[in-house]
Structure 1
Amino acid sequence: MVAMALDIGEKRVGIAVSDSSGRIASPVKVLPASEVLSFARTFRLLIEDYEPEVLVCGRPMTLAGERGPQAERIEVQALAIGRAARLPVEFVDERLSSSEAKRILREQGLNEKAMRGKVDMVAASLFLQTWLDARSAK
């Protein structure tokens, strides 16, 4: 089963997908949030190319495990994207995924400017991998 992860931000959406066996997550692309939210052609083509069966969206949580201040906005947007794509939406804790993505990219020698377009898709792949691992453990 192919899953597509969306790390929904105010300006950008990081996108990652799993392999067809549902075991490995890979970063794919970052699109402007406006294109994903309006179900623009660029995003529709990704849906057509990867044929996901589910959208996995990051839910911002506080370090205490409570819903973060952006959670409601992101949940509403994610459900709207799911309706437009005719796909079910599942949510996963995205706590620290951006921090971990930045650490990984820094280790690869990227500076803040070079990271800007990559952090969101790497973060999406990290929380998608967590979701995939949890499913395979069941």
Structure 2
Amino acid sequence: MVSALGLDIGSKRIGVAGCDQLGLIASGITTLKYRSFKQLTQQLRQLIEERSVQILVVGLPYSMDGSLGHQAKQVQKLADRLAEALGLPLAYIDERLTSFQAEQLMLAENLSPSRHRGLIDRKAAAIILQQWLDGH
């Protein structure tokens, strides 16, 4: 089975999710603060080595009409650079509404989304990765 890392890339934070050894269940691992590309690649490289990751799965924030807006193009640019720097293949998943789904999960757990932004990013990354796993 393939070991994948799911990424929910934002301008300030990146939610990171991983999957179990069977590649069936995705769960949030951490939220990384985006300070520099070098620091980000170092942090991701460590996770990739620990988890024997073989592919990066990145959520692409399409516009509601299905087009690639400014944010989606920024995500693609960073994801492409990361994949190249880390030497891993890259898969994109439509991430429309994943942050909303993550917030709904938090509300169901009686957690305040506004006070747990990093947790939303992790949960969104897990939703992105789970969608990819379910499709494979």
Amino acid at match of 1:14: G
Residues 116-135 of structure 1 mapped to structure 2, 5 A cutoff: 116-135=117-136
In structure 2, the residue matched to 1:48 is: 49
Deviations 1:90-138 (A, max 9, x none): 1110000000001101111111343212001100100111111111xxx
In 2, are the aligned partners of 1:8 and 1:33 still within 8 Å (CA)? Answer: no
In structure 2, the residue matched to 1:83 is: 84
Give distance in 2, aligned partners of 1:2 and 1:40: 18
Give distance in 1, aligned partners of 2:18 and 2:41: 19
Amino acid at match of 1:19: D
RMSD, aligned CA: 1.4
In 2, are the aligned partners of 1:102 and 1:115 still within 8 Å (CA)? Answer: no
Per the TM alignment, residue 44 of structure 1 is displaced from its structure 2 partner at its CA by 2.3
Give distance in 2, aligned partners of 1:40 and 1:54: 14
Amino acid at match of 1:131: W
- Bigger CA drift: 105-114 or 37-46? 37-46
Give distance in 1, aligned partners of 2:28 and 2:92: 18
Deviations 1:22-70 (A, max 9, x none): 21111100001235x3245333221211121000001111222222331
In 1, are the aligned partners of 2:106 and 2:113 still within 8 Å (CA)? Answer: no
In 2, are the aligned partners of 1:101 and 1:122 still within 8 Å (CA)? Answer: yes
Per the TM alignment, residue 75 of structure 1 is displaced from its structure 2 partner at its CA by 0.5
In structure 2, the residue matched to 1:96 is: 97
In structure 1, the residue matched to 2:65 is: 64
Give distance in 2, aligned partners of 1:95 and 1:34: 25
Q: TM-score, normalised by structure 1?
A: 0.90
- Bigger CA drift: 42-51 or 85-94? 42-51
Quote the sequence identity (%). Answer: 36
In structure 1, the residue matched to 2:109 is: 108
Give distance in 2, aligned partners of 1:83 and 1:56: 14
Amino acid at match of 2:62: M
